[in-house]
Chain A
C-alpha cells in the first residue's frame, strides 16, 4: 500500500482530506449545535444549479457552484429566520428546484458531460493543486472567523435571545455562519460530492457532541474524526476499487452507528 503514496493524485487527495477535515470539524460543530443540518443539505443540493449553468455558459463550474451556494445559504438562512410559515417547506422546495435547474441546463449543454458526475458524487482523486489552494483559503477564513467570535457563536447557539440582550451582533454572526456553510459546501463538493456533503459535515460533530460537553473540544474531535473518515474511506476505496466519496460516507455512517451504540451502552459515561 505504501507505493500509492508516491502518486501525486494520492498526495493531493490526502492533503485534500486534511484541509477539508479542518473546515468540517469547525463548521460541522456549529451546524449541528445550531440545528442547521437541513439548511446545509439544501445549500449543497442547490449548488448543483450553479454547476449546470456554469457548464451551459462555459464558465468554471466551481465559480457557478460558489455563486449558487452562497446565494442559497443566504436566502435559506433568511427564510429560516424570518418566515413564520414552515421554513422547512420553502427550503425543501428550493433544494429540489436548484437540482432541477442543474439538470435542465446540463440537458441544454451539447457534448460530453460525464464530468458532472464528479460534482454530484465527488472525486477526491481528481483534486488539483488549485483546488488545494482554494481549500486552504476556505480553511483560513472559517477558522479565523470562528476563533474571533468563538464565545459569541457558543452563546447564540445556546440561547440567542439572551445573547441579543447582551448586544451580541446575533444577525451578523448568523450571516457569517451561513456564508461559511456556503464556502464549506463548495470545498466538500470536491471530496464527497454535493449529494453526500450533509453526512460528512454533520457526522463527525454529531459523534463529538455525544461524548464531549465543550464546543471547542468537539471541534477538535470532529476534525480528527473527519480526517480518519476521509483518509480511511479513501484507502478503502482504493483497495477495493470503489467510489471514494461514497466509501468515505459509509465509513462515517458506520462510525456514527457505533458511537450511538456505545453512548447508549454507557449512559453514564464520565464526561471528558
Chain B
C-alpha cells in the first residue's frame, strides 16, 4: 500500500457490536480498541466467537448491531491494511502451488486487477520470504512443507500486504513445540519493529510470555488492555485460569485447560 490512511489511533475501534449467523448471535456487545504497537492475545473456548470476531474485523461478516472501524475506515476498505493469517484446519496437500505464489497473493488488491505482478511486488515478496527464513524453499510446492514451515508461508503472505496490523487465527494449532517457539519469536520481533498484532490462541502457556495484553472472548469480550486476567474474565463462563492469578503458575493452568478441552 503506497497511501496510508490518516493515522487513526486506535487501529481497530469496535463499539457495542453484535454479530452472528442467521438468528444465532455469536458475538454480543463487543467493545474493543486495538492500540498501535500492541500484541494482544485473545483466548476463549471453541465456539466462543474468536474466528467470528476476525471475520467481522475483515468485513467478511456484517455486524448485526454496532460499529466497527479499521484504521478509521470501513472494514471493506481498512482490511487492505491488515495482514491476515487464517486458521488452516483443512489443507489439500495436492493443491498445485509453490511457496512463492502463495506469498504473492498478499500483493493482490484492486490496484493489481488487470495488471501482472510488478518488480516491486517481487522485491517485497522476496523480502518477506527472507523475513520468515524460507527463501531457500520459495520454489518448493506448498504441500511438501512441514506444518510449521507452512504457517511461516502464511505469515509471509500476510506481511507481503505491508500491513499495519497482523491478525493471526491459531497460528500454531498443528505445529510442533520447536516450530511454535520459532513462530512466536518471529511475531515478537515483528511487534518490536512496529507491527501491531492481534492473535487468537488456545495455548495460553506459550502466548503469555510474548503478548502485551490479553482478552477473553466467550460471546462477550473481556479486555482491559492489561496483561492480567481479571475476575470478570473468569466469570465469563470460560474456564479462564484461576490459578494464573492465584499462583502465577501458567504451566498448571495449561494442563487443566487441555484436559477440559479433550
Contact = CB atoms under 8 A, between A and B. Distances in A.
A33 B92 CA distance: 10
Nearest to A35: B92
Interface string A49-60: 000000000000
Contacts of A158: 95, 97, 102, 105
A166 B60 contact: no
Given A162-B105, A271-B141, A213 B97 contact: yes
Interface stretch (A93-101, A127-135, A147-155): A147-155
Q: Mostly helix, strand, loop or mixed at chain A's interface? A: helix
B110 interface: yes
A214 B98 contact: yes
A109 B228 CA distance: 79
B105 A163 contact: yes
A220 B154 CA distance: 28
Contact residue range for chain B? 20 to 34
Contacts of B141: 213, 271
Contacts of A271: 141
Contact of A151 (B86, B94, B108, B157): B108
B110 A154 contact: no
B84 A214 contact: no
Interface string B219-243: 0000000000000000000000000
Contact of B105 (A159, A167, A169, A209): A159
B86 A167 contact: no
Interface of B: 58-60, 76, 79-80, 82, 84, 86, 94-98, 101-102, 104-106, 108-110, 112-114, 116-117, 141, 143, 157, 161
Contacts of B82: 165
Given A166-B80, A166-B108, A167-B80, 18 more contacts: A151-B108, A154-B101, A154-B105, A157-B95, A158-B97, A161-B60, A161-B86, A163-B105, A165-B60, A165-B82, A167-B76, A167-B79, A168-B113, A212-B96, A213-B141, A214-B98, A215-B97, A218-B96
A214 B96 contact: yes
A159 B86 contact: yes
Contacts of A168: 108-109, 113
B96 A215 contact: yes
Q: Which of A169, A209, A213, A214 has the most CB of B within 10 A?
A: A213
A162 B96 contact: no
Q: Which of B94, B108, B110 has the most CB of A within 10 A?
A: B108
A256 to B, nearest CB: 15
Q: Which of A148, A168, A212 has the most CB of B within 10 A?
A: A168
Contact of B109 (A148, A154, A166): A166
B257 to A, nearest CB: 28
Contacts of A213: 96-98, 141, 143
11 contacts: A154-B101, A155-B105, A162-B105, A165-B59, A165-B79, A166-B80, A166-B108, A167-B76, A168-B109, A213-B97, A271-B141
Contacts of A218: 96
Contact of B117 (A151, A167, A209, A214): A151
Contacts of B104: 151
A155 B114 contact: no
A165 B84 contact: yes
The 5 closest A-B pairs by CB, nearest first: A213-B141, A166-B108, A213-B96, A155-B105, A165-B58
A166 B116 CA distance: 16
A207 to B, nearest CB: 12
A149 B112 CA distance: 10
Nearest to A166: B108
A158 B116 CA distance: 18
A264 interface: no
Nearest to B158: A162
